[in-house]
Chain A
Amino acid sequence: MSGTRVALCLVPLAMAISLCRANAAPLDESAERYRPYMIEGIGSALAGARDLRERVAAKDLAGAKQAWLSARAGWERSEVFTAGFVPELDALIDAWPNAGSGFHAIEAKLFGAGQTDVEGDADALVKNLDDLHSRLRDMRLTPQGLLDGTVRLAYEVGEGKADGGESRISGTSLDDMRNNVAGIDFAYRTIFAEALKAVDAGLDEQVTERIAQLKLIVGAPDLPHVDVRALRRASEELVIALQAASARLGLQRPTLEAQSR
């Protein structure tokens, strides 16, 4: 191969690399824009958990349930980053089915048994969320990690819920899904949409449409009315579109499991 041909072959590669670099810096900045949302979400979960601890101490079952729901909503909105960035805390806070502590252990007591004897569990939840919250300001947020988390959550939203879903005792699995979709939507719009639109407006449109479909589907009045087939299709098509987006954004193909890169 002549030197000229080599040079010609290298041109697209150089352009691709420069494109990656061109995209990488703005994406890093965009990832930073996600930080306040993350702090707000976990802050909300922490506030709810503290309220829960107080209500539990006061033996106020109704208040404790309300506080749990509030804490849960903040947590579910934040799942884009929890599994990938803080897997050990994620496992402590959201463990199931018979967690020693965490949301589901408390859920079973409050909503299942109708008991408020969860002081220890509530303490642990506050401690773990507090620990997480304190790390958020200095946590290094990478566009790759946030895309990985967005993709994983998009896939997870499409999982079957015929058995009542993850939060079946409290009957709030649909709320979990809505908050998950809200988290996906925010992460995409804040971090990736602008950059993707600049390089591939059609792909951005595909992603945006799939997220809109997901929102519509989880807008059903209750879990039995969620169109599970349509949900799965939209979830998988969104993941595929985001996989394609990763290449256009100069990122690696997203992982489908936390820590699987």
Chain B
Amino acid sequence: MNAGRLSAAIVAAGLLVAVLHGRVMAFPVEGDQTTLPTHTELNEDALDRPREVFHSEITGRKSYLVNLGNLAFSSPSILGGVARQANISCGTCHVNGAGNAKLFMPKMSTRPGNFDTTGPLFNPKADNGLLDPVRIPSLRGARYLAPYGADGRMPSLRDFVRNVIVNEFAGPEPSPAIVDAIVAYIQDIDFLPNPSLGPAGRLVGQVSETERRGEALFSKPFPHDPGMSCAGCHVPSGAFVDHKQHDVGSGGLFKTPTLRNADFNAPYFHDGRFDSYNQVVAHFDKVFTLGLSTQDQKDLVAYLTAVGDGVLPYEHEDAGASLKEINDFASVLGTAIPAGDKKTVVLAVDTIGGELRELTEQYPDHKNTSVSGGAQERINARAGLKEVVLLLRRIDMAVGEGRIADAAADYRNYRYLMAAAVPSLLGGAERWSLFNPEVHDQHYGALRQVLQSKHVSR
């Protein structure tokens, strides 16, 4: 990494640390009346969300199928009863297609960022009696990353998706169209671009000495088995994988993970046991007796950091980003309403309505002590969002009763409101909303303080 990139990376890392520490007030599930175990952390209040890059948007627009898949991926209603009650969707773990390094669920996780897909909570029938969580993976570039599952047990992404829905989360058998749509969505999620990677996975541009040495070490045969090297499995190419499973001394055969965008994919290894590249390199040095010097290890870490980089990995969560996603979801109604496709309309109304209700709560009501000022603006924002929630419900009712023309008219009204009026109302109230970091921290800090009262005297 050159000096400029290194300093940029240091600044970025510093910012990331600051962001993470700034969000230590991330809000865990609490109380005795919740479906999820107390102290579950979903990191849903994060203000910085992973950036999602869609392959189809590079040259055009996302297709109906991709939007439908994204909608279903974000819908608790395709999963089983426990997940539905807890408002858990595929997108809870795979936020904008990336991993969720802060997700922690007692009984299902051993550390933030991993999750036991064969645990007792969501489908007791799938419980293997062991607490054996796996790292929550990023789905960026998944179309290059077969086979699927940490152990690479499934060659087909389609089979894998169905298995997650039906077996791991006890959902009803999904229609083939929904599975196809989710697969299309996942396959449309690109890696974040990394301008430092050239053809054949070579570092290009201003490459630092340490990165160049790391790159050479990466391809250097292992001392005790010249047939092996890091690059032998992480083949420098589009995805730095070999599509195979290997035993790297972590307790079994696991598939080679991608190094692309891996700077943002911690924790590492199949069970998320390592927090950093330093630990990963030290592990390989020990298990394969590589005899790496301290400098060698630094060089490899520098190389991995350069390979694993990506442009703008996070973006600030605000009303604009939320509305963009919601509008993409709602676009499926443009096809489903004329077709009288009741199931898709129900899925869309249920999911989008839920998102809009959550968005409403970003604008504190008059009883919330975390914010003063902007009372009328907040009222207007909340009222506007409630109006569109109800418009969606009218669409659902109309399609359910076969009144397609009424539904189409309501959909036109919905789009009209969402095109200008609602964004304007939300924009007017943004500074008093939970999208404002000050208000956000005040609100969640207060909530956390109240909830912690439960543990003060215990």
Interface check A229, CB cutoff 8 A: yes
CB closest residue in chain B, given A163: B29
CB closest residue in chain B, given A162: B87
Nearest chain A CB to B372 CB, angstrom units: 11
Which positions 426-448 of chain B face chain A at CB distance < 8 Å? Answer: 443, 446-447
Contact B85 A228 (CB under 8 A): yes
Interface check A256, CB cutoff 8 A: yes
Interface check A201, CB cutoff 8 A: no
Contact B368 A233 (CB under 8 A): no
A94 vs B457: C-alpha distance in the bound complex, in angstroms?
Answer: 25
Which positions 165-199 of chain B face chain A at CB distance < 8 Å? Answer: none
What is the 8 Å Cβ interface bit string for chain A, positions 174-218, against chain B (1 contact, 0 not)? Answer: 100000000000000000000000000000000000000000000
- With A99-B369, A256-B383 in contact, is A174–B33 under 8 Å at CB? yes
Interface check B43, CB cutoff 8 A: no
Which of A91, A104, A114, A222 contacts B33 (CB under 8 A)? A222
Which of A161, A162, A169 contacts B454 (CB under 8 A)? A169
Contact B33 A165 (CB under 8 A): yes
A111 vs B33: C-alpha distance in the bound complex, in angstroms?
Answer: 14
What is the 8 Å Cβ interface bit string for chain A, positions 147-177, against chain B (1 contact, 0 not)? Answer: 0000000010011111111001101011000
**Tally of A-B Cβ pairs under 8 angstroms:** 142
Give every chain A residue within 8 A of B233 (Cβ-Cβ): none
Interface check A236, CB cutoff 8 A: yes
Number of B residues with CB within 8 Å of any CB on chain A: 49
Nearest chain B CB to A200 CB, angstrom units: 17
Interface check B3, CB cutoff 8 A: no
Give every chain B residue within 8 A of A114 (Cβ-Cβ): 457-458
Contact A98 B450 (CB under 8 A): yes
Which positions 355-389 of chain B face chain A at CB distance < 8 Å? Answer: 357-358, 361, 365-370, 376, 379-380, 382-383, 386-387, 389
Interface check A113, CB cutoff 8 A: yes
What is the 8 Å Cβ interface bit string for chain A, positions 211-235, against chain B (1 contact, 0 not)? Answer: 0000000000011100011001100
Chain B contact residues: helix, strand, loop or mixed: helix
Give every chain B residue within 8 A of A104 (Cβ-Cβ): 450
Give every chain A residue within 8 A of B350 (Cβ-Cβ): 229, 232
Contact A162 B382 (CB under 8 A): no
- With A160-B357, A239-B390 in contact, is A113–B453 under 8 Å at CB? yes
Interface check A109, CB cutoff 8 A: yes
Interface check A39, CB cutoff 8 A: no
Can you list 25 pairs linking A and B with CB atoms under 8 Å apart? A87-B366, A90-B367, A91-B367, A94-B367, A97-B368, A97-B370, A97-B450, A99-B369, A109-B453, A111-B454, A114-B458, A159-B357, A160-B87, A162-B87, A164-B30, A164-B34, A165-B33, A168-B30, A169-B451, A169-B454, A223-B34, A228-B87, A232-B354, A239-B390, A257-B386
Chain A residues at the B interface, C-beta cutoff of 8 Å: 83, 87, 90-91, 94-100, 104, 108-109, 111-115, 155, 158-165, 168-169, 171, 173-174, 222-224, 228-229, 232-233, 236-237, 239-240, 243, 255-260
Chain B residues at the A interface, C-beta cutoff of 8 Å: 29-36, 77, 84-87, 350, 353-354, 357-358, 361, 365-370, 376, 379-380, 382-383, 386-387, 389-390, 393-394, 396-397, 443, 446-447, 449-451, 453-454, 456-458
